Chain A
Amino acid sequence: MLTILTFFPVVGALIILALKLFKKETDLLIKQLAVGFSVATFLLSLLVLAQFDMAVSGLQMVNRAAWIPSWGISYLMGVDGLSILMVLLTTFISMLAIASSWTAITTQVKSYYVFMLLLEAGMLGVFLAQDLFLFYIFWEFTLIPMYFLIGIWGGKNRIYASIKFFLYTMAGSLLMLLAILYMGITNGTFALPDLIAGREAFAAAQNWLFIGFAIAFAIKVPLFPFHSWLPDAHTEAPTAGSIILAGVLLKMGTYGFMRFNLPLFPEASYQFAPTIAVLAIIGIIYGAIVSFAQKDVKKLVAYSSISHLGFVMLGIFALNEAGLQGAILQGVNHGLSTGALFFLVGVIYEQRHTRMMADFGGLWKVMPVFAVTSLIVTLSSMGLPGLNGFVGEFTILLGSMGSTALGTRPWIYTAFATTGVILAAVYLLWMYQNVFMGPLDKEENKKLRDMNGGELAIMLSFLLFIFWIGIAPSAYFLLMDSTVAKLVAHVMAAATVAMP
């Protein structure tokens, strides 16, 4: 099941590539096929959800086959409470991203959609692979389509941004590769469950191994101060690229911490928690303040991601149930809110070919529907209660103050992190005012059309989840509860043995 899900988009990509053989290749057909396959993949992921048993804390729907037995490498796929929401997020965001490219992409249509579908497959693989070697291959594989998406369909500085993105994340993962090889060789297996069971073998080196993984993931998240690639990549990427980058790719980093760092190196995680929490909080505040100074809307949203992901990281390293569950949900929330924000920036960019706040003003008058939907998304990003962002943020902050990993004064962490709530209002309302309020005084803006049906449909899909998670998120927490509880128990048991 999971294998079918992961490679289903690849089938789509292959069919699109094969169209030429049958002399049927038209842009329209390619688009229809790509959208069709992404919708079908989403439906498949819902099927996975239907079979998912939330009472089980371990891996489910496991596919296991020996692959390179001599090296202890296996083909191992499985899903649990940590990944089920990520899988759904991936298929959902990919579907909307592919659909949103309908009019935006006019050049090299075929390769564009092929890369999009391959990217989706790679991301699914990252969230489902339970063998470290397999994981690593998927992890690196996602870089390639993203590299081309930025490099070919990006803005005017795209080459620089794409290379920076590629090398930066590539360099980070090299250390992870070393760590993976070390563990695989000492244990004779690359399967994650086996490694967790046999972590005594590399427990002595776990601080170094933790760092090896952490740097790869921290770059991806990005955790301050590894964030420098992100604004470049975001501003240069095409709209759909930004949506996927913010929506899913960044979550691969936070997911990596939860999937690998915590269970494999619990003592090290406990020990490094305050350090990472401090970096996360710096990220929250720094990202928010730097956002405020941006003149380009897309860059502002990009920096806001650093702030939001800071909350997620803080939640993870609170190392308790509330923090981790809040972090997973906030990952989803950020994907929805920021994905939607990038989509909205794309809608206006397509018409005006500018993203500078100074070029706008008073848009509410000509685009009321666009203005209202943007307002809701902005508020969701700000963490207004009743919308999705608040639920995640509050749970994370709750977790952080109840954290034992953060020493005897966890409230100091919470207090600093909570200032992010104020700063988010400062920069997001500033952006909203500059774009939508004030007088409609630019000639070019007076002729703008409001959102069309297709754009509205995509937007409503985002809004559906923004409201749902905001008002009734309990189903989402239940999906991950047992897995997270087990993970926390595992980490805490190890940490208390190590540090009485």
Chain B
Amino acid sequence: MNAFGLAPLLLIFPAIGVLFNTFAGPRLIRAERKTGEMYAGWFASLMAILAFLVAVMLYFSLRAHDYHAETVRLFDWIVVPSAGFTIPWAIQVDTLSVTMMLVVTGVGSLIHIYAIGYMHGDPGFHRFFAYLNLFLFFMLILVSGSTYLMLFVGWEGVGLCSYLLIGFWFDRVNEQGKVMNADAGRKAFVVNRVGDFAMVLAMILLFWAFGSLDFGAVFGSAVDLFAHGEMVTLFGMEMTVGAVLTAVTILFLLGAAGKSAQIPFYVWLPDAMAGPTPVSALIHAATMVTAGVYLMVRSNVLLEIARQSTLDGVAGASLLGLSGPDWIALTGAATAVLAGLIAFTQFDIKKVLAYSTISQLGFMVAAAGMGAYVAAMFHLITHAFFKALLFLGSGSVIHGMEHGHHHVHEHDHEHDAHHKAEKFDPQDMRTMGGLRHKMPITFAVYMVGTLALAGIFPFAGFWSKDEILAHASTNHGSIFTAVYILLTVAAFCTAFYMGRQIKMIFFGSPRHEAAEQASESAPIMTYPLIILAALSLLGGLLNFPFFTESAYKAAKAAHSFGINLGLEHWLEHSITAFALTEEGIVHMPHTPTWMQVDVALISTILALAALALAVGVVYRKRPQTATERDPLQGTPIWWFAILPFEWFYMHTVVPAFKWSARWLAEVLDGAFWHDFVHDNIIRDLFVGFAKFSANVLDANGVDGLVNGSGRLTHAVGAVLRKTQTGYARNYALGVFLGTVILLAYFIFAS
């Protein structure tokens, strides 16, 4: 089977969906709301499903072709022949990109369907689905591009969709009169642009060092030069490959920190929760934010060369003594812990999940930085399942709460409207409680998601998280040890804040009348949840480890791995670092292929302890009312509630920028340059000179030439003094006539 030729359809289907909902959507919905919504929503979902089917066909094509990567060239994009710069639009079909395609379109399809129910009745229904399809379009460009520049097209494109979808309810205003949704979208875009700044520099550096931006060409050239110990000529100087790639990996880290919400740029993601919940699930949990991880895994060759160069002590190949990948690993691990701690202090159901996402992305980034590329992808996939599940579940909860609130309102309305003025936040976990009886399906799937996220055996998260921890613990070096400790702490945090969350949402008794009246969501929303729950339960099978060393060795000897390590054997065809390690060019850190029982036991015990601590101790009987203080409030844990980086930006960078913009515009450009220098100094000097020449020189009877110029400047001076009169026009007319006469003179003179 060969379906590689179908690859362009992957992009064409979502593009059709965008056009459909842009042009036909408004009309359909205006004609008949209910059927219009059905057409708009299902058409968009169908496009997502069709894209998924294309991805499935590409999967089988790869299997049939012995996993050989295939590039489908579409047409030229940027071609500057004399500069040797050629970038085509081309789709690279390899096991890594197909993995991403399957996740994006698969989870994407489920979320599209869910959103038909969730967005029901929204005035911007068709706009929402146009954006969702546009997002799929750009995300597929991102994961399928065969060059860094095409990846970047998707990279910025998904950023745009994120901006549009966060600000989807662009007219919403909070109590302080702030346009909060639009602000949140703008913040996301601008912070991401800071990361993109680094991406642009990294790409340009790669081009001048290796003469291409094509993945294969860049990697090939880097490996060649590195293996032969040759230098790169850059800026007219000789440089080591290691030095260049250290710079590139650090720049990639900055780029990924923007897109994948790592320290120091994670601040946009919590605000991004202002968007509709399906968006949070699709873009801000399952797919877009993992782009940074994909970038790292895609660049595995570059990361490994950078790591090896540092180990070999190559000149210039380190930053403060650490290699580029070390920085990536540490950044990820630190983010995992910090975000995990901040999640303790959140009351908004989605904000907890947002910080959880930042923390889990930290796991993935750390894994990629440690060279555990398969584990990073494994966690990316399982996280897509269970975090999409949790977000959609939280959407179901919010929906239920809103429903309950409406119910109360209608009820009130019949008697008296004294509750009208009450402000109600359907996302505040303090107003929830006891929802397990009201929303049994949501509760059941949410529990699956929670256990998967907390890393409890045998749910998906257990396997993928454990692989990362096992990798960190079995490799030697202080970086690995530090990352192992940080990630273990982060895993403990994860279980704790999730325990706190389910306790506050589902257990105890309702703390608000809306929670009392909450009801289960419609089947169109719960079915996707059930599918995702099944995936969160079984996702571990994707890369099931061997249980013992001897089992692994036996399977290896027999060349038959069965179901075990499926993802690793699938991905190793596109993660070239495996092959390079075998050739001895680099020494990629090895991920254990059988279970590390000690690591698994420690993390499981910690997770169970944290769950028990949250559910059974700290929040055992609390909160009782919606206004009660959190038991942790006042403890050092709560210090993280002030959001260290957020505070820093809002109190230093933003005001400084605004102040400097005002100062530059009003004082330097306006008062000084425009008014003073031009209108006073230059004009007055000119006028003064004109007066001088007219009165002094003219009066003293100098020769005709000076005379003439004196008169001219006099005229100019007069014009300048009388700028508000019609005199100026006459002067310009004079110049015009002068030009004409001059022209006529030359024409006839010849």
**A residues in contact (CB < 8 Å) with B:** 66-70, 73, 137, 140-141, 144, 147-148, 151, 159-160, 162-164, 166-167, 170, 225, 228, 231-232, 286, 289-290, 292-294, 320-322, 325-326, 362, 364-365, 368, 372, 379, 384-386, 390-391, 394-395, 397-399, 401-402, 404, 408-411, 414-415, 418-419, 421-422, 425-426, 429-430, 433, 436-440, 471-474, 477-478, 481-482, 484-485, 488
- With A137-B743, A362-B171, A421-B200 as known contacts, state yes or no: A477 contacts B80, CB within 8 Å: yes
- Selected from B85, B173, B196, the residue in CB contact (under 8 A) with A398 is B85
26 A–B contacts from the bound complex (CB under 8 Å):
A70-B750, A137-B743, A141-B739, A151-B728, A163-B723, A170-B735, A228-B674, A228-B678, A290-B661, A294-B665, A385-B156, A395-B83, A399-B83, A408-B236, A421-B196, A421-B200, A422-B196, A429-B190, A433-B179, A433-B183, A439-B171, A472-B76, A473-B77, A477-B78, A478-B81, A482-B82
Chain B's nearest CB lies how many Å from the CB of A400? 8
CB contacts (< 8 Å) of A402 on chain B: these are: 83, 207-208
Checking A144, A232, A390, A394 against B736 with a beta-carbon cut-off of 8 angstroms, the contacting residue is A144
Residue B170 lies at the interface, judged by CB distance under 8 Å to chain A = yes
Does B79 belong to the interface (CB within 8 Å)? yes
Please give, as numbers and ranges, the residues of chain B lying within 8 Å of A364 by CB-CB distance. Answer: 170
Residue B620, interface by CB 8 Å: no
A437: which of B167, B205, B207 is its contact (CB, 8 Å)? B167
Instruction: Kindly list chain B residues whose C-beta atoms are within 8 Å of the C-beta of A326.
Output: 80
A residues near B205, Cβ cutoff 8 Å? 401, 411
Please judge, given known A-B contacts A425-B193, A437-B167, whether A293 and B179 are in contact too, CB under 8 Å: no
Number of B residues contacting the other chain (C-beta, 8 Å)? 72
Residue contact A151 to B664, C-beta cutoff 8 Å = no
- Residues in A neighbouring B152, C-beta threshold 8 A: 385
Q: A433-B179, A438-B182 are in contact. List 10 more A-B contacts (CB 8 A).
A: A151-B728, A293-B662, A294-B665, A394-B149, A395-B83, A402-B207, A404-B236, A433-B167, A472-B75, A473-B78
The answer to whether A385 and B673 have CB atoms under 8 Å apart is: no
Tell me, rounded to whole Å, the shortest Cβ–Cβ distance linking A150 to chain B. Answer: 11
Question: In the complex the two chains form, what is the Cα distance from A232 to B675 in whole Å?
Answer: 12
Tell me the chain B residues, 411-442 only, with Cβ under 8 Å from chain A.
none
Please tell me which one of the listed residues B156, B171, B200, B669 contacts residue A418 in the complex, with CB atoms under 8 A apart.
B200
Q: Are A414 and B197 in contact (CB under 8 A)?
A: no
Q: Are B77 and A418 in contact (CB under 8 A)?
A: no
User: For the complex, what is the distance from the CA of A402 to the CA of B201, rounded to whole Å?
Assistant: 12
**Distance, CA A482 to CA B171, complexed state (A):** 51
Q: Return the contact of B77 from the options A164, A401, A433, A472 (Cβ within 8 A).
A: A472
Tell whether, in the assembled complex, residue A437 and residue B82 are in contact, meaning their CB atoms are under 8 Å apart: no
Please state if B201 and A440 are interface contacts (CB–CB under 8 Å).
no
Chain A residues with CB under 8 A of B153 = 385-386
For the complex of A and B, the 7 pairs showing the least CB-CB separation, nearest first, are A293-B665, A485-B82, A474-B79, A322-B83, A437-B170, A321-B83, A437-B182
Q: Per-residue 0/1 for B52-66: is the Cβ within 8 Å of any A Cβ (1 yes, 0 no)?
A: 000000000000000
Task: Name the A residues within 8 Å of B236 (CB-CB).
Answer: 404, 408
Cα of A313 to Cα of B586 in the assembled complex, Å: 43
The reply to whether B235 and A484 contact each other, CB–CB distance below 8 Å, is: no
Inside 8 A of A436's CB, which chain B residues have their CB?
A: 170
Q: Output the nearest chain A residue to B662 by Cβ-Cβ distance.
A: A293
The residue among A320, A408, A439, A474 with the most chain B CB atoms within 10 A of its own CB is A474
| A429 nearest CB neighbor, chain B only | B186
**A440: which of B156, B171, B674 is its contact (CB, 8 Å)?**
B171
Judge whether B728 and A474 touch: CB under 8 Å. Answer: no
C-alpha gap A70/B750 in the complex (Å):
8
Residue numbers in B under 8 Å from A379 (CB-CB) = 160
Decide yes or no whether B732 CB sits under 8 A from chain A.
yes
Chain A residues whose C-beta falls within 8 Å of the C-beta of B664 in the assembled complex: 286, 289-290, 293
Q: Are A398 and B732 in contact (CB under 8 A)?
A: no
Chain B residues whose CB sits within 8 angstroms of the CB of A418 once the complex forms: 197, 200-201
Q: Report if A474-B76 is in contact (Cβ < 8 Å); known contacts: A411-B235, A414-B204.
A: yes
Decide if B116 is an interface residue (CB 8 Å cutoff).
Answer: no
| B77 near A293: Cβ-Cβ < 8 Å | no
B581 in the interface, Cβ–Cβ < 8 Å? no
Contacts of A401 in B (CB 8 A): 204-205, 208, 235
Query: What B residues does A478 contact at CB under 8 A?
Result: 79, 81
Q: Given the known A-B contacts A474-B78, A481-B82, are A67 and B750 also in contact in the complex, defined by CB atoms under 8 Å?
A: yes
Q: Verify B173–A438 contact, CB threshold 8 A.
A: yes
Q: How far is the CA of A228 from the CA of B664 in the complex (A)?
A: 13
Asked if residues B186 and A398 are in contact (CB atoms below 8 Å), the reply is no
> A289 contacts B660, CB within 8 Å?
yes
Are A471 and B179 closer than 8 Å at their CB atoms?
A: no
Docked-complex contact B80 and A325, CB < 8 angstroms: yes
The smallest beta-carbon distance between A180 and chain B, in angstroms, is: 14
Interface status of B230 (Cβ within 8 A of chain A): no
Quick check: is B461 within 8 A (CB to CB) of the other chain? no
User: What's the nearest-Cβ distance from chain B to residue A32, in Å?
Assistant: 27
CB contacts (< 8 Å) of A429 on chain B: these are: 163, 186, 189-190
Q: Which residues of A contact B83 (CB under 8 A)?
A: 320-322, 325, 395, 398-399, 402
Q: Point out the residues of chain B lying under 8 angstroms from A73, CB to CB.
A: 746
B189 to chain A, nearest CB (A): 6
**Beta-carbon nearest neighbor of A420 in chain B:** B197
B719 located at the interface, meaning its Cβ lies under 8 Å from any Cβ of chain A in the complex: yes
Q: Is B652 an interface residue (CB 8 A)?
A: no
B719 to chain A: which residues have CB within 8 Å? 163
- Name the B residues within 8 Å of A477 (CB-CB): 78-81
A72 to B161, alpha carbons, bound, how many Å? 60
Q: In the bound complex, do residue B179 and residue A438 qualify as a contact, i.e. CB atoms below 8 Å apart?
A: yes
Q: Judging by beta carbons under 8 Å apart, are A322 and B85 in contact?
A: yes
Which residues of chain A are within 8 angstroms of B208 by Cβ–Cβ distance?
398, 401-402
- A166-B732 contact in complex given A68-B749, A228-B673, A418-B200, C-beta closer than 8 Å: yes
Q: Which residues on the A side are within 8 Å of B662 (C-beta)?
A: 293
Residue of B with least CB distance to A409 = B235
A372 to B26, CA, bound (A): 14
Is B207's CB under 8 angstroms from A398's CB?
yes
Chain B stretch 701-748: residues in CB contact (< 8 A) with chain A? 716, 719-720, 723-724, 728-729, 732, 735-736, 739, 743, 746-747
B contact residues around A437 at 8 Å (CB) = 167, 170-171, 179, 182
CB pair B673 A422 closer than 8 Å: no
| CB contact list, B651-690 vs A, under 8 A | 657-658, 660-662, 664-666, 669, 673-674, 677-678
| Docked pose: A436 CA to B163 CA in angstroms | 14
Q: Which residues of A contact B673 (CB under 8 A)?
A: 225, 228
Closest to B207 in A: A398
Q: Let me know if B479 is at the binding interface, CB within 8 A.
A: no
Report B203-226 residues with CB < 8 Å from chain A CB: 204-205, 207-208
